[in-house]
Amino acid sequence: MFHKEGHKIIFTTLVIVVASFFLIDGFVTTEWLRTSLMLLVLGFFILILQFFRNPKRNTHPEVSQALSPVDGKVVVIEEVQENEVFKDKRIQVSVFMSPVNVHVTRYPISGKVTYSKYHPGKYLVAWHPKASEENERTTVVVENANFGKILYRQIAGALAKRIVNYAKVDATAQQGADSGFIKFGSRVDLFLPLHADIKVELNQKVRGGESIIAEIK
């Protein structure tokens, strides 16, 4: 299954691939070079397909748990000052996505969307310390009775040039459901209450909609 954000790109790439095959077959006479070019074009198409894949996830909704919003590797776990919405201290857990990860963003908890805002910005590498404040990004806050308010931030990276955010203020968020997409490598920051029990470690690989990031006792 492929994400809807990739349908046009996949179709366009397929047309380019087919046209390239005809051109290579018609104009390249050296057999080894023709085969190599065709394999290169085919490999590019396979990369596009795997980037936009949208595998089904077995989310087990649990009001006391916050799930990872994306696939990737945990690169930050620290107490920080969150200045856009909360204006206080929070635990930040950041997940970095490489170009080969699934790039679907999922709601970490169920609840009501109370804040959703897009910020234009730079395209620093996603692990840059200033990426969370200076890169193109979207900020979403979801609130429920157990966690209170949780903020997650989609952040563009050096390759990511388009962030898609489906979260609308006053909408109902369902834990693990599709809430957006980031094209071509980036990261997501999750800001949790200080009393949240963090269940992941640095460099741990996580899966969106399945891996438990934190619990509220």
* Residue 100 and residue 90 in contact, taking contact as beta carbons nearer than 8 Å: no
Rounded to whole angstroms, the Cα distance separating 75 from 65 reads 20
Report the CATH number that the domain containing residue 115 is assigned in CATH: 2.70.70
Q: What are phi and psi of 145, to 5 degrees?
A: -70, -25
For residues 33 and 116, membership in a common domain is answered with no
Asked if residue 60 belongs to a domain, the reply is no
Cα dist. 131→36, 109, 120, 189 in Å?
38, 24, 12, 10
In a domain, 57, yes or no: no
Catalytically annotated residues: 186
47 and 69 co-located in one domain? no
What letter would DSSP give residue 161? -
Q: How far apart are CA 78 and CA 95, in angstroms?
A: 13
Alpha carbon distance 51, 31 (integer Å) = 30
- 190 vs 197: CA distance, rounded Å: 14
Regarding whether 131 and 97 lie in a shared domain, the answer is yes
Question: Does the pLDDT value for residue 132 go beyond 80?
Answer: no
Task: Take residue 115 and report the two structure tokens written for it.
Answer: 């804040």
CA 27 – CA 207 distance, rounded (Å) = 45
43 with 89, same domain: the answer is no
145 and 97 within one domain: yes
**The pLDDT value given to residue 217:** 79
pLDDT at 65: 94
Q: Using 50, 70 and 90 to split pLDDT, how confident is the model at 199?
A: very high
- In Å, how far are 103, 154, 155, 203 from 161, measured between CA atoms? 13, 12, 10, 25
130 or 74: which leads in pLDDT: 74
Mean of all residue pLDDT scores within the chain: 88
Residue 152 lies in a domain: yes
Q: Give 97 or 141, the one with higher predicted confidence.
A: 141
Residue 123 lies in a domain: yes
Number of domains in the chain: 2
Looking at the structure, do residues 88 and 173 belong to the same domain, yes or no? Answer: yes
Residue 193: exposure state from Cβ atoms within 10 A (0-12, 13-18, ≥19): middle
| 94 and 69, same domain (yes or no) | yes
Phi, psi of 22 (to 5 degrees): -65, -40
Are 154 and 107 in the same domain?
yes
Mean pLDDT computed over 45-72 = 87
SS3 category, 152: strand
The residue among 150 and 159 whose pLDDT is bigger is: 150
Enclosing domain of residue 20: 4-51
Mean pLDDT, residues 92-99: 90
- Whether 11 and 91 map to the same domain: the answer is no
Is residue 205 situated within a structural domain? yes
> Domain check: are 37 and 137 in the same one?
no
- Residue 88 included in any domain: yes
25: in domain: yes
Is residue 34 located within the same domain as residue 97?
Answer: no
What per-residue string of b and e applies to 107-119 under the rule 16 or more CB within 10 Å gives b?
bbbbbebbbbeeb
Q: Does residue 58 form part of some domain?
A: no
Please give the model's pTM, rounded to 2 decimal places: 0.84
Same domain, 102 and 22: no
